[in-house]
Amino acid sequence: MSAPRVDFYVLSDHKDNGRALLACRLTDKAYNLGHSVYLLAASEPQAAALDDLLWTFRQDSFIPHERYPLAGEQDSPVLVGTALPTDRAAQVLINFTDRLPEGLERFERIVELVDQQPEVLAASRERFRQYRERGLTPESHKL
């Protein structure tokens, strides 16, 4: 398997829900391109908020998704959880945490979400450095 592509999406400001809305927009885009997505949240409340927002962030959007670990037996193309699944694979990992995800080599693409909040910026710079130390070449996209 080849090394994953790593992309940092950098918002120009800090709004309360800015990173979460960006996560939903990128999930929507990946889903519509036929990719499976795993949204990695930092906490259960954050995972629940992302789960809710995926249903409501845009009126004309429908993203079938489930919480991980799965409550049902469905094979949803989008999963939201606080730990990476060992029993399922996804093409795209959207990292909504402040740490480098373990097992990142299992994904084709890793998406990092950055806003201008000082602690988010500092943690993002550290992850950028850690990706480079692992031999990956992260790219930044200013929005």
Rounded Cα distance, 132 and 143, in Å? 22
Q: What is the pLDDT of residues 38-78, one digit of tens each?
A: 999 999 999 999 999 998 888 887 788 988 887 665 678 99
Domains of the chain in start order, with CATH, are 5-142 (3.40.50.10110)
Q: For residue 10, which phi and psi values (nearest 5 degrees)?
A: -110, 115
Tokens 């845009």 belong to which residue?
58
Of 35, 34, 37, give the one whose Cα is nearest residue 23: 37
The pTM score is: 0.93
